[in-house]
Structure 1
Amino acid sequence: MDSQLQAIIDARHHDPFSFLGQHQHQKKWIIRTFLPHASRVEVAGPAGWEPLERRHPAGLFELVRPEALSRPYRLRWEADGHLHESFDPYCFSPEISAFDLHLFAEGRLWEAYRTLGGHVVEQEGIHGVRFAVWAPNAERVSVVGDFNRWDGRVHPMYSHGSSGVWELFIPGLEPGARYKFEIRNRHSGAVFLKTDPYGSRFEHRPGTAAEVFSSHYDWQDGQWMQARASWDWQTTPISCYEVHLGSWRRGEGGRTLSYREIVDQIIPYVKEMGYTHIELMPVAEHPLDESWGYQVTGYFAPTSRHGSPDDFRDFVDRCHQAGIGIILDWVPGHFPKDAWALARFDGTALYEHEDPRLGEHQDWGTYIFNYGRNEVRSFLLANAHYWLSEFHIDGLRVDAVASMLYLDYSRKAGEWLPNRFGGRENIEAIDFLRDMNVFVHERHPGAVTIAEESTAWPMVSRPTYIGGLGFSMKWNMGWMNDTLRYMSQDPIHRQYHHNEITFSQIYAYNENFVLPLSHDEVVHGKRSLLDKMPGDAWQKFANLRLLFTYQYTHPGKKLNFMGNEIGQGAEWQVSGSVHWDLLSRHWHEGIQRLSRDLNHLYMREPALHEQDFSQQGFQWIDSNDAHHSVLAYLRRDTAGEILVVVLNFTPVPRPNYRIGVPQGGTYAVIFNSDSGYYAGSNAGNGGTLQADSQEWMGFPYSLCLDLPPLAGLILKPQQEG
């Protein structure tokens, strides 16, 4: 007993359940409890309260009885003049099943968040919270919080042996309780506090404790979820409005808005503007605003900056009821080094690699997940499942996929280790991504996965059964880089860079592409989209209108970051807000109107979206007029109906510009980015034009157009009669 008692006092006991609680000794029963802050302790017996004897001044109390007490039994103790009463945690048996532990160790516990973390449960008819955490290299793990004065001696946990999982049920604990895990490493003896990797809610920054949370949300989006399950996302319009919730709009005095306040304002705006989806930059808990959410410390918790997890559920639910999908930025590629979070969680490299050549991102100062470790795979796969099932998220945009695929990503020679075949591919990460995509598409019909992948890795958005990574779609970073580089050229020089604006058609159908004009392009000195455009103010706005016209008529789904749609001139600042006051100026109002009309046109015209991923949906009319910097092409729907797109990338009006068309008859100009309605010069064609029977550019008919400067026209054949 002396050695076990000393281990309890020193908070080193690996198996506190073998000592604390009720145990048979010879023909009697001993009840032990360790309450270091108690002055006296009693237990409820059949005839009333029975006092326990203090057996050690550090706080061990003991009672020897001739018979066992019925479990569970209650303790009552006095501390600092206050009387406390609760059931003894050490009279409750651990409940995590061997099968769950087996699945967790195999990387197949898809709902690991239901097993690990802190959960309000009922055990043996008693309400309380069950805590569980994975810490295989710990000598001892304790739950600490306000409820035990953050004293690691009070609530040491039960060890599930070689699984590395620790468990403890604390009766009487209620939602809202703050907690962490105190861990003693079995090798070094070092003791440290860690927040819960599976915590579903965290206190508001700068605090880092998890909070016990139990959802009581009643979803009302059944119609949306049922329709999504049969949604053909490949042939329907997807136009994403990328939003950082903290800086989309602020309250009075720069106050951060809540989830419920934001959704009240963003739903009518997104509906009016015609976006189909809101793509949220990471909302998982993170300590630093300036990380934009990409350095996650609470993978299973919506950030408390804007409210509770149920408040976020309400955000998603109401968007769904309004017909708006929600795509979430997900960050499985790396995590920060904060000492209180995942980093070296049990004193060893648990979620990361020990070797920095495998385990550290030098660019970002973060750790890389060890995808070859099954328990880490359980953590990440369960996390994807969590957001999709618990919050009804419609898709995951997976951040920094390129950094996951390559072992030498952003590393010099000698700073990385090759795989077992001597190559640079991260085989474990590839396997993880494939498993994740198969899992998401099987378990969540209609949900999409989108890769931010900037290299030429083949078949990112092709099924795993033919060798692909299995993503639904991929951001077209090549299109984005080439297009912005081309648009930043002075128009007089664009004729020498013509291949940059036409090159995307060489590979446009190798993947299911999204065309992104994202937050990454309007920060860190890259300047806003408007400010990237050359020329005077008139030309900048005309170029921006032309850029958006090109984006919406080019094959691929669409994404624009908040502020782009009003032509914001300043770079995005995470501590600020979209500059909504600019809408009092006609040029910015014109950009917003154009953005809105392009979205609605994109949704309304099947030719602009039905064959986004098929060569049959696009045909060049003329891609070779570099001298005039003009592009002309057709978009075609599955029924063969066409739209004609003509783009003039110079500030020179081009009267009587002839292009070939595949059919005769009347063509209506259904969109002109130079319209005065968009603060343009109102040049170019309006109304209708008649196709000539003159052959041109290999087509049997032709149109003679007046091309407005720095502008695009979209024409649609009209039904005769």
Structure 2
Amino acid sequence: MKSLSSSSPGSSEDSAQSLLLTARLYDPCSFLGMHAAPNGRLIRVFQPYMSRVWLHTLSGYQPMRSVHQDGIFEWEGEGVMHPYLLRMENTATGVIEERHDPYAFPMQISGHDLYLFNEGRLLQAYHMLGAHRVRNHGVTGTRFAVWAPNAERVSVVGDFNLGFSMKWNMGWMNDTLSYMQHDPVHRRYHHNELTFNQLYAYTENFVLPLSHDEVVHGKKSMLDKMPGDGWQKFANLRLLFTYQMTCPGKKINFMGNELGQGHEWRVGHELDWYLLERDPHRGIQALTRDLNHLYLNTPALHELDFFAEGFSWIDCHDVEQSVISYQRRARDGSFVLVVLNFTPILRTGYRVGIPGSSAYQEVFNSDSIYYDGSNAGNAGKISPTGQPWSGQPDSIIITLPPLAGVILKTADD
């Protein structure tokens, strides 16, 4: 056991702390865990999601001292239980959790096994590598070991740490961009490219990417991918961004997309900020800003992104008109309706099924004049008609703008 003292300015512990927080500390056991100290034992833990941490000692739970705002805590004294137990308060939820610190346990792979492995003579390496359920000092857990000689760092992904737990939905990206590049008159023949994603959307924690890789190497900018004349290209792009932000899954939109750049991403040049002198480009930027705020402030659009309970179709069968409509829901039951028109035809008197019999109001319209659209839409309250539709108990009649999406909420929300 190494002898350490609590961190002081300019000490080696400061350097180790900095390396830890930047994921460059190659021997975290030298910094975290239990170490000999002048007043007994020094316990140091890294719990970035916790606002407070207590250590279980022979005299009960003792508060640990926060030494860095990113989640490093220390305690020094006698009477430490082994393996020591932590009680922690989650910063985001306020929930109190108890669990053992992984760094309370000694090395789990024997020196003999490492010697044989390095010589290439460990014939049953699978017993050492991979994930294995083990019981150590009366505590049951999972031991992970990998061989990655060229890796600078390895992270274990799970509910217990900081690992990246999401996966890019390449199927959604490829299907969506393929669909959007069809001339609107032909989109009805490719309707499944919009609807297929829901068959697997909740099998992983998906991110919906409109990424760097799609605007380089001759693939064209997002704006240039869109079919039609100048006005239709911008309308299609506004519609694409509306679809992305209302579809279940987290979002990635590469820089420059929000300006409606006409050429591909160029690594040696800055973004084309001068485009914001032109109304259509300012409209794309304003739409992106407003969609981000709406997503942030509307739980129905983000709380259940990874769960089927957060989404249901209103109508995915309007193939001939290339229109889809769906409901997004929050944990508390609040919801929004999304209706998307993938053709340049203004559809007045369009009937949409609704749950219940409330009046609705339009809270977002990608065809708004504020985004340099044609400003077709729905002002004021939209009353229910009393006619069931699309398997819903009631319906409303709306104006559906060309190449545009609208988001509706109940008028009493």
**TM-score (structure 1 length as normaliser):** 0.38
Query: CA–CA distance in 2 between the matches of 1:223 and 1:376?
Result: 29
Query: CA–CA distance in 1 between the matches of 2:195 and 2:394?
Result: 24
The count of residues paired between Structure 1 and Structure 2 equals: 291
Task: Give the direction of change, closer, same or farther, for the CA distance of 1:224–1:498 in structure 2 (3 Å limit).
Answer: farther
Unaligned runs of 5+ in 2: 1-23, 30-65, 74-87, 94-144
Letter in structure 2 aligned against 1:500: E
Query: CA–CA distance in 2 between the matches of 1:377 and 1:687?
Result: 61
Residue 490 of structure 1: CA displacement?
A: 0.2
Task: Give the direction of change, closer, same or farther, for the CA distance of 1:220–1:527 in structure 2 (3 Å limit).
Answer: farther
1:696 aligns with 2:389: yes
Query: CA–CA distance in 2 between the matches of 1:600 and 1:552?
Result: 11
Query: CA–CA distance in 2 between the matches of 1:474 and 1:533?
Result: 26
Which of 661, 668, 679 pairs up with 2:361? 668
Letter in structure 2 aligned against 1:528: S
Query: CA–CA distance in 2 between the matches of 1:220 and 1:541?
Result: 51
SS at match of 1:383: coil
1:437 aligns with 2:169: no
Query: CA–CA distance in 1 between the matches of 2:68 and 2:410?
Result: 39
Residue 113 of structure 1: CA displacement?
A: 6.4
- The equivalences for 1:210-221 within 5 A come to none
- The equivalences for 1:218-367 within 5 A come to 222=69, 230-231=91-92
Match of 1:565 in 2: 258
Match of 1:383 in 2: 153
- The equivalences for 1:480-499 within 5 A come to 480-499=173-192
Letter in structure 1 aligned against 2:179: Y
Letter in structure 2 aligned against 1:377: A
1:715 aligns with 2:380: no
Which of 280, 305, 328 pairs up with 1:612? 305
Which of 596, 619, 623 pairs up with 2:289? 596
Give the percent of matched residue pairs that are identical in Structure 1 and Structure 2. 56
Query: CA–CA distance in 1 between the matches of 2:90 and 2:150?
Result: 25
Letter in structure 1 aligned against 2:69: G
1:112 aligns with 2:112: no
- The equivalences for 1:402-417 within 5 A come to none
Query: CA offsets per residue over residues 185-235 of structure 1, 9 Å max, x none?
Result: xxxxxxxxxxxxxxxxxxxxxxxxxxxxxxxxxx99827999996558xxx
Asked if structure 2 preserves the Cα contact closer than 8 Å seen for 1:522 and 1:572, the reply is yes
Query: CA–CA distance in 2 between the matches of 1:568 and 1:618?
Result: 32
Which of 508, 512, 518 pairs up with 2:205? 512
- The equivalences for 1:128-147 within 5 A come to none
Letter in structure 1 aligned against 2:148: R
Asked if structure 2 preserves the Cα contact closer than 8 Å seen for 1:112 and 1:378, the reply is no
1:550 aligns with 2:243: yes
Match of 1:96 in 2: none
Residue 498 of structure 1: CA displacement?
A: 0.4
Residue 448 of structure 1: CA displacement?
A: 3.9
Query: CA offsets per residue over residues 242-270 of structure 1, 9 Å max, x none?
Result: xxxxxxxxxxxxxxxxxxxxxxxxxxxxx
Query: CA offsets per residue over residues 437-459 of structure 1, 9 Å max, x none?
Result: 24x764xx4x341xxxxxxxxxx
Residue 641 of structure 1: CA displacement?
A: 1.0
Query: CA–CA distance in 2 between the matches of 1:221 and 1:664?
Result: 53
SS at match of 1:622: strand
Task: Give the direction of change, closer, same or farther, for the CA distance of 1:228–1:656 in structure 2 (3 Å limit).
Answer: farther
1:633 aligns with 2:342: no
SS at match of 2:287: helix
SS at match of 1:652: coil
Residue 376 of structure 1: CA displacement?
A: 5.7
Which of 255, 267, 272 pairs up with 1:579? 272
Match of 2:347 in 1: 654
Residue 701 of structure 1: CA displacement?
A: 1.1
Letter in structure 2 aligned against 1:112: Y
Asked if structure 2 preserves the Cα contact closer than 8 Å seen for 1:113 and 1:383, the reply is no
Match of 1:477 in 2: 170
Letter in structure 2 aligned against 1:491: P
Match of 1:678 in 2: 371
Task: Give the direction of change, closer, same or farther, for the CA distance of 1:665–1:569 in structure 2 (3 Å limit).
Answer: same
Query: CA–CA distance in 1 between the matches of 2:384 and 2:319?
Result: 24
Unaligned runs of 5+ in 1: 1-109, 116-218, 233-373, 385-435, 450-471
Task: Give the direction of change, closer, same or farther, for the CA distance of 1:220–1:590 in structure 2 (3 Å limit).
Answer: farther
Query: CA–CA distance in 1 between the matches of 2:228 and 2:188?
Result: 16
Task: Give the direction of change, closer, same or farther, for the CA distance of 1:520–1:705 in structure 2 (3 Å limit).
Answer: same
Task: Give the direction of change, closer, same or farther, for the CA distance of 1:694–1:526 in structure 2 (3 Å limit).
Answer: same
Query: CA offsets per residue over residues 10-31 of structure 1, 9 Å max, x none?
Result: xxxxxxxxxxxxxxxxxxxxxx
Q: CA RMSD in A?
A: 2.8
Residue 375 of structure 1: CA displacement?
A: 9.2
Residue 377 of structure 1: CA displacement?
A: 2.5
Residue 379 of structure 1: CA displacement?
A: 5.7
Query: CA–CA distance in 2 between the matches of 1:625 and 1:533?
Result: 22
SS at match of 1:496: helix
Query: CA offsets per residue over residues 663-706 of structure 1, 9 Å max, x none?
Result: 21221100000000001000121332112211111111101011
SS at match of 2:318: coil
- The equivalences for 1:192-203 within 5 A come to none
Query: CA–CA distance in 2 between the matches of 1:220 and 1:500?
Result: 52
Task: Give the direction of change, closer, same or farther, for the CA distance of 1:505–1:671 in structure 2 (3 Å limit).
Answer: same
SS at match of 1:687: coil
SS at match of 1:623: strand
Residue 474 of structure 1: CA displacement?
A: 0.5
Query: CA–CA distance in 2 between the matches of 1:221 and 1:658?
Result: 57
Residue 636 of structure 1: CA displacement?
A: 0.6
